A and B are shown apart, each in its own frame.
Chain A
Amino acid sequence: MTKAGPILTVVLAIIALWYVACVPMNVQETLTAAERAGVAVSPEGARERAEMGRFALMAQNSGVLGGSWSVDRARLPAPHQIVAELWNSTWNEEVYGRRGLVKSGSLSNKSLIYHGWITLSATVLGFAIGAGLGVLLAVGIVHSKTMDMSVMPWAIVSQTIPIVALAPMIIVVLYSFGIQGLIPKAVISAYLSFFPVVVGMVKGLRSPDAMQLDLLRTYNASKSQTFWMLRLPSSVPYLFTSLKVGIAASLVGAIVGELPVQRGGLGARMLGGSYYGQTEQIWAALFFAAAMAALLVALIGWIEGKTLKRMGVQA
């Protein structure tokens, strides 16, 4: 429990800073709402206020700034508003909503659980493709000089192209072949997640030192025996490190893949929120995605712990 203190301190500091930042960020909206409610603000009229600086407005209207944390469609919603939105769009929507799980028997398309599930399935499928491809490429690169020289530069180049630019093209190209829905998003996820796996796996498969390779030569071991008995087990710690990076990248890929399509998913939810000025919805989707990423990384960490323990690593 000695770690809880520092972690809690940082979290509290961030939340405090957030609440403070809400005041200047939301000052225009706060004053407009107050004016509508019949409170005197200076200067009068939203247009006049738009000409003025935030801090000047704050100085002139310090009495009504208490509303900064409860503005509807705030520029920067306060943390408790986001938490409320998270609660409403998960539990309340599914349990009490007309289209919720309880009343309709299926997940509501207004709930984050529904959208999270769409994103998660694309993430996991894409990650499986990407990780599998990454491992295969790494095995090829380690065993073939030609592949090392030809594949590695392209793998690096592939990651220099902004995924936001590439994602719509992937979707359009696959659509022209009649493929849509889950697969294009998974392809984008795989595109982002194979790279860390390739790099980590190549490093891991090359990690046995000269002495260990010499030892196997004295046994006249074959290439495949060297691979299965030495290279692969040596690469396991490297593999898990890159899988953690890979699954987080995979989630980003799925979200980016959902932006242009607007057929559900956390990405669609975020973009929808920004179209309609629903900042709380954007932030809620963002936090939901972050929590999902954290859970996925933690899941891989858990598997890593179990695997390494089975491999006799000192606890």
Chain B
Amino acid sequence: MSVIEAKALNLTFQSNDGPIQALRDVNLNIEKGDFVSFIGPSGCGKTTFLRCIAGLEHPTSGTLTVNGMTPDEARKARAYGYVFQAAGLYPWRTIGGNIRLPLEIMGFSKSDQAERVRKTLDLVDLSGFEKKFPWQLSGGMQQRASIARALAFDADILLMDEPFGALDEIVRDKLNEALLKLWARTEKTIGFVTHSIPEAVYLSTKIVVMSPRPGRITDVIESTLPRERPLDIRDSAEFIQIAHRVREGLRAGHIDD
């Protein structure tokens, strides 16, 4: 069953230097339980596409459905959790208070809030940090807390816009591994924007390669890797082969310039 379906999607921004085509003729199906990565150089429209799914940007033409609804309806139905590149935790709220933020807005009961905060903190391995303030945590821990915040209200879809882009590689590896475990436990559908080839190949069941000017999809790769992935799978021949195809796809997009 398709959770997200895009057909002939176009988006043009009006700028001072004339119109900019951010997305051209994007067609894509995302199935339930998929882990889909969007990869490409900056300006290829990967973030714009993710924001379209979230109902934060609106396509100029074409159709886009999320859970069979328009993105705006899906947003109002709180169908997804969104993780931004920066953790963006409120400095005046504790970690627990930050995770409680969406729950307060959505009107969960006090006892339900406490239970969900405890559960999601455990999910991202931050139990015991509930009463700490954001500045007392490292960058990686803050980003984990922001993932917990997106998970707290149990939406089926998780949209992540370069969530680990600002972190160093060692922390990144750890978080990638943790994210896969979390995905296996929660069985969510994940849309993940990145510009790291190894990250995309390691995490995804489906890799969408995009290229800029105008932003479009140049290749969609169904990963043949098993769902269970230890970190050293990255040295396997299969992994390297997929990574190679992603690289080819990115290069092909650039030849057009």
Q: How many Å from the CB of A35 to the closest CB on chain B? A: 70
Residues of B contacting A313 in the complex (Cβ-Cβ under 8 angstroms): 91-92
**Interchain CB contact under 8 A, A218 and B56:** yes
**Interchain CB contact under 8 A, A312 and B133:** yes
Q: Which one, A111-119, A194-202, A207-215, A266-274, is touching chain B?
A: A207-215
Whether a CB of chain A sits under 8 angstroms from the CB of B112 is: no
Q: How many Å from the CB of A240 to the closest CB on chain B? A: 14
Q: Which one, A26-34, A72-80, A219-227, A288-296, is touching chain B?
A: A219-227
Q: How many Å from the CB of B155 to the closest CB on chain A? A: 9
Task: Look across to chain A and name the residue whose beta carbon is closest to the beta carbon of B84.
Answer: A211
Give the residue of A217, A220, A312 whose beta carbon is less than 8 angstroms from that of B91. A312
Measured CA separation A219–B152 after assembly (Å): 11
**Interchain CB contact under 8 A, B76 and A220:** yes
Known contacts A211-B86, A312-B133; is A220 also within 8 Å of B92 by CB?
no
**Interchain CB contact under 8 A, B86 and A218:** no
**Interchain CB contact under 8 A, A225 and B56:** no
**Interchain CB contact under 8 A, B54 and A211:** no
Q: How many Å from the CB of A210 to the closest CB on chain B? A: 10
Interface size on B, residues (CB 8 A): 25
Whether a CB of chain B sits under 8 angstroms from the CB of A7 is: no
Task: Look across to chain A and name the residue whose beta carbon is closest to the beta carbon of B72.
Answer: A220
Whether a CB of chain A sits under 8 angstroms from the CB of B28 is: no
Whether a CB of chain B sits under 8 angstroms from the CB of A155 is: no
Residues of B contacting A214 in the complex (Cβ-Cβ under 8 angstroms): 56, 82, 84
Whether a CB of chain A sits under 8 angstroms from the CB of B13 is: no
Residues of A contacting B75 in the complex (Cβ-Cβ under 8 angstroms): 217-218, 220
Measured CA separation A31–B55 after assembly (Å): 85
Interface residues of A in 257-315 (CB under 8 A from B): 311-314
Whether a CB of chain A sits under 8 angstroms from the CB of B94 is: yes
Encode B55-94 as 1/0 by CB contact (under 8 A) with A.
1100000000000000000011010111010101011111
Interface of B with A (CB < 8 Å)? 54-56, 75-76, 78, 80-82, 84, 86, 88, 90-94, 101-102, 104-106, 133-135
Measured CA separation A221–B102 after assembly (Å): 8
Residues of B contacting A229 in the complex (Cβ-Cβ under 8 angstroms): 101, 104-105
Q: How many Å from the CB of B115 to the closest CB on chain A? A: 19
Q: How many Å from the CB of B150 to the closest CB on chain A? A: 8
Known contacts A312-B93, A312-B94; is A219 also within 8 Å of B105 by CB?
yes
Task: Look across to chain B and name the residue whose beta carbon is closest to the beta carbon of A308.
Answer: B92
Please classify the interface of chain A as helix (H, G, I), strand (E, B), loop, or mixed, using the class held by over half of its residues: helix
**Interchain CB contact under 8 A, A225 and B105:** yes
**Interchain CB contact under 8 A, A215 and B88:** yes
Whether a CB of chain B sits under 8 angstroms from the CB of A216 is: yes
**Interchain CB contact under 8 A, A230 and B90:** yes
Residues of A contacting B133 in the complex (Cβ-Cβ under 8 angstroms): 312, 314
Whether a CB of chain B sits under 8 angstroms from the CB of A45 is: no
Residues of B contacting A53 in the complex (Cβ-Cβ under 8 angstroms): none
Residues of A contacting B55 in the complex (Cβ-Cβ under 8 angstroms): 217
Give the residue of A211, A217, A220, A225 whose beta carbon is less than 8 angstroms from that of B88. A211
Q: How many Å from the CB of B199 to the closest CB on chain A? A: 21
Whether a CB of chain B sits under 8 angstroms from the CB of A233 is: yes
Residues of A contacting B90 in the complex (Cβ-Cβ under 8 angstroms): 230, 233
The 7 closest A-B pairs by CB, nearest first: A311-B92, A312-B133, A218-B82, A221-B105, A219-B105, A219-B102, A220-B76
In the assembled complex, 7 residue pairs joining A and B whose CB atoms fall closer than 8 Å, in A order, are A211-B84, A215-B88, A217-B75, A218-B81, A219-B78, A229-B104, A312-B91
Known contacts A230-B90, A233-B90; is A220 also within 8 Å of B84 by CB?
no
**Interchain CB contact under 8 A, B54 and A312:** no
Task: Look across to chain B and name the residue whose beta carbon is closest to the beta carbon of A311.
Answer: B92
Measured CA separation A215–B78 after assembly (Å): 12
Residues of B contacting A314 in the complex (Cβ-Cβ under 8 angstroms): 133, 135
Residue from A211, A215, A217, A229 having most chain B Cβ neighbours under 10 A: A215
Task: Look across to chain B and name the residue whose beta carbon is closest to the beta carbon of A307.
Answer: B92
Encode A220-249 as 1/0 by CB contact (under 8 A) with B.
110001000110010010000000000000
Q: How many Å from the CB of A204 to the closest CB on chain B? A: 13
**Interchain CB contact under 8 A, A215 and B105:** no
**Interchain CB contact under 8 A, B91 and A218:** no
Residues of A contacting B134 in the complex (Cβ-Cβ under 8 angstroms): 312
**Interchain CB contact under 8 A, A220 and B56:** no
Q: How many Å from the CB of A230 to the closest CB on chain B? A: 7
Residue from A214, A218, A230, A236 having most chain B Cβ neighbours under 10 A: A218
